[in-house]
Amino acid sequence: MLTLRFMRKNPENYPEQSNQEVYNRSGLIASVLGTATIANTTETTLASYTLPAGSFDPNKASPNGTLTVYAWGKFGATANNKTVKLYFGSQNLSTGANADNNTSWWMEVVCQRSGLSTQNVSYNGQRSGTALSTSSLQQTESEAADILIKLTGTNGTAAANDIVCHGLIVTFAE
């Protein structure tokens, strides 16, 4: 599992904050490539990013408070059931358990701050060319606490590389 961190684009310009995670105004705040499940049947974190507390504060972070998370990958060439989930805080988008064989998947979460510790969140994705059940909802993730963003994979049969994450990107809209 890879854990993502972000830093200022030019940390040398901010010596008082050089060891702190802070918002990167360039938009891209994290990315990871090339992780996969191991030979087990437990939900395994393939990539994660902890959004620091206060990241949705319009005075400190993204001007419009919109965060996008995009993940993509491939299912192994087996007839085993496989499940991929993309979490934003307490909610997630799931592919469901399906025996997809040597096909691709992608997932996206778009989250916009709608008020203090409230966000309008849209979940979207596809597996093997089939649209996932999309949803739009209002979440209440606290801005005073870190928010965990993670991608997980669960193998139906203990087979390594049944779920491969080719990438996970976290960005703030500018």
Question: What's the pLDDT score for residue 135?
Answer: 84
Of 79 and 30, the structure prediction assigns the larger pLDDT to 79
Longest dimension (CA), the chain: 53
Structure confidence by residue, pLDDT tens digits, 85-135: 999 999 999 999 999 999 999 999 999 988 888 899 999 999 999 999 888
User: Residues near 133 by Cβ (< 8 Å), separated by ≥ 6?
Assistant: none
Can you tell me the distance from the alpha carbon of 22 to that of 75, in angstroms, rounded to the nearest whole number? 34
Does 2-172 carry CATH code 2.60.120? Answer: yes
pTM for the whole structure = 0.81
Residue 71: the pLDDT is 95
Q: Which of 134, 42, 139, 132 is nearest to 91 (CA)?
A: 139
Write down the residue that tokens 């993309």 correspond to.
86
Computed on alpha carbons and rounded to an integer, the radius of gyration of the chain in Å comes to 17
* Residue 78 to residue 168: CA distance in whole angstroms: 23
Least reliable range by pLDDT among 21-35, 46-60, 144-158: 21-35
Give yes or no for a contact between 104 and 95, defined as CB atoms under 8 angstroms apart: no
| pLDDT score, position 99 | 95
